[in-house]
């Protein structure tokens, strides 16, 4: 698997990169994990409810992933796995559970206790939602993915119902730990552990 760090990049540019890679993986190219931070942007899933945008001045991009409205910005690590799920079981539910377990393990690795909540996709702590997941699949090639708040200023979430949930507090690794965690360290952790757990839980056939 290739792991590529795109740095800080606009949503539109990252989406173009995802589309290109999806086409390449469909043609047999190697799977890729994109790691990046987005410039500030609100997005809303294909079936999301615009009523969850609480500020009428907000413009949210409608995108082809699951889930509702969310915010991306610097200080939040975004991961876009471009995977051939046709060779990994063709089970979207299992893929989502893998992403949750991966994010729980990443949190634990930096001494933050994350957990899942039945019926709600993502990862929480006692102080709020730490990580979100929203995926898309095109001919069983995955796109979009996960985000985990590292040192993100979470005030932008005050203008939305995050992931469609009313009164959903948002937290970060920095808030949970009480100190700043360098983004490069979290990226390195994700890059070194993602493929190992993927092959454990969704082995390539």
Both tokens of residue 59?
């413009």
Q: Which of 3, 147, 163, 168 is catalytic?
A: 163
Give the number of other Cβ atoms within 10 Å of residue 48's Cβ. Answer: 22
Q: Residue 147 catalytic? A: no
Q: Give me 27's structure tokens.
A: 């043609």
Q: Report CA 127 to chain centroid distance, whole Å.
A: 19
| Cβ atoms of residues 163 and 70 within 8 Å | yes
Catalytic residue numbers? Answer: 163
């Amino acid at each position: 698997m290739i792991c590529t760090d795109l740095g800080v990049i606009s949503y539109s540019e990252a989406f173009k990169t995802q589309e290109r890679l999806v086409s390449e993986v469909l043609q047999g190219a190697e799977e890729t994990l994109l790691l990046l931070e987005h410039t500030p942007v609100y997005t809303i899933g294909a079936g999301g409810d615009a009523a969850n945008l609480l500020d009428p001045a907000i413009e949210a991009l409608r995108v082809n992933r699951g889930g509702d409205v969310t915010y991306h910005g610097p200080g939040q690590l975004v991961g876009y796995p471009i995977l051939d799920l046709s060779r990994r079981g063709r089970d979207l539910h299992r893929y989502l559970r893998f992403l949750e377990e991966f994010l729980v393990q990443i949190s634990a690795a930096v001494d933050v206790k994350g957990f899942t909540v039945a019926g709600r996709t993502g990862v929480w702590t006692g102080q709020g939602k730490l990580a979100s997941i929203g995926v898309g699949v095109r001919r069983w090639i995955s796109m979009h993915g996960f985000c985990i708040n590292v040192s993100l200023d979470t005030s932008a979430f005050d203008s939305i119902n995050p992931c469609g949930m009313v009164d959903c507090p948002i937290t970060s690794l920095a808030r949970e730990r009480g100190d700043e965690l360098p983004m490069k360290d979290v990226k390195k952790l994700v890059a070194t552990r993602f493929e190992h757990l993927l092959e454990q839980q969704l082995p390539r056939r």
